Amino acid sequence: MFGLTVGRRASAGPAVDDDTLVAAQRLTVTRGQQPVLCNVDVAVKAGQVVTLVGPNGSGKSTLVQVLTGLIRDHQGQVRHRDGLRVGYVPQHFRIDRNLPITARRFMKLAPRGRHGNWDSAVADAGVAHLLERPMQGLSGGELRRVLLARALLSRPHLLALDEPAAGLDQRGQGELYRLIRHIRERYGCGVLVVSHDLNLVMAATDQVLCLSEGHILCRGAPESVRAHPEYLALFGSHLGPETAVFPHAHDHEPGEHCSHG
């Protein structure tokens, strides 16, 4: 869950150049008869922070799991750089309170061969003072740092963080996004983030993809777009003047639907 190596798929698909870590083309995912993602094109390059935003149920977590190789049942093409190492931090993680385990022991449970980066992962995530504490006693922010440290053990090329700031106060959120930028600069990895906090997105990302009902509704560099009218039509005019919004570039024509035939 927290570190995996993905080989390139054999099927034809979007080209993966030297800088591209993962690329998807016309990606479609259905559950039962219900489309979760529909005709999504996306790529993440080395050193790039890409943030996914959108309403609950828009397909953000599913897209992350497909791009990281955790979900393989899909239509469309997904290509990964050969030997891509992925670190993944899920949105929800629960520790059984009847099974006491320290943060050190939890990190040591990572697969063999991933502990060569131990000192750097511990230092970069800032968890040295947490290693002897029980996982059950960590705060939400402390738990996320330990999960992040474990994800860094493999020195990932791609780091995927699903709602990493959920439940943190404003100070904790700011610290987390500063940490993300530090890790991107230190490791040179691509970072894929799911977030609902648009103010933080403005300062911490290179590209934003806004999903709605399984489609990429709009995408672009956050600094280039403040208060786009179509984005506000989706999320409401209650957003304050300092809230980041993103440029609109349709990836589908109005009325286009997924084909399940």
For 71-105, write each residue's pLDDT tens digit.
999 999 999 999 999 999 988 888 877 778 999 99
Q: Torsions phi, psi of 53, nearest 5? A: -125, 165
Lowest-confidence pick of 146-150, 177-181, 218-222, 226-230: 226-230
Angle at 84 between CA 178 and CA 12, to 5 degrees: 125
CA distance 212 to 80: 25
CA distance 60 to 20: 20
Could you say which of 1.20.1250.20, 3.30.830.10, 3.40.50.300, 2.30.42.10 is the CATH number of the domain covering 29-63+170-235?
3.40.50.300
Does the pLDDT of residue 202 top 50, yes or no? yes
Find tokens 């990964």 and name the residue. 80
Does the pLDDT of residue 176 top 80, yes or no? yes
Task: Give residue-wise pLDDT tens across range 18-72.
Answer: 789 999 999 999 988 889 999 999 999 999 999 998 888 889 999 999 999 999 9
From the list 86, 85, 66, the residue with the least C-alpha distance to 23 is 66
Show me where the domains of the chain are located. 29-63+170-235
Lowest-confidence pick of 18-22, 107-111, 171-175, 243-247: 243-247
| Encoded tokens for 156 | 């990932």
Provide the β-strand partners of residue 211.
216
Buried b (16+ CB within 10 A) or exposed e, 17-34: eeebbbbbbebbbbeeee
DSSP 128: G
CA distance 50 to 250: 18
